[in-house]
Amino acid sequence: MDTNQILDELNNIFRNVLNNKSINLTPETTAKDVDNWDSLSNIHLVVEIEAHFKVRFKTSEIQEWKNVGDLMSSLEKKKNA
């Protein structure tokens, strides 16, 4: 799975969870850049991402994410492990 494919799938997850079809994530996107991406919706996003990609994140991993690129790096590491 390449970076573009991961980003496309994350876009779909974010659009569905946040009910916003206009979301267009980039690796530099942060929660401040996306309407309704708050602490509660972040939990829903992580649950959906874990289910979709069949991975599990530790709380410490999630807390280190500063942007979508950090999330993607964590996903790539888990998928390639």
CA distance 56 to 59: 10
Give me 56's structure tokens. Answer: 């599990």
pLDDT in tens, 28-50: 999 999 999 999 999 999 999 99
pTM of the model: 0.93
Identify the segments of the chain with pLDDT beneath 50.
none
Work out how many domains the chain is built from and give that number: 1
Give me 8's structure tokens. Answer: 């496309």
Position 21 scores a pLDDT of 96
Contact 38, 31 (CB under 8 A): yes
Range of the domain at 65: 3-80
Query: What CATH number has the domain bearing residue 8?
Result: 1.10.1200.10
Give me 51's structure tokens. Answer: 């289910």
Position 58 scores a pLDDT of 96
For residue 24, CA distances in Å to 2, 7, 9, 45, 61 come to: 18, 9, 11, 15, 23
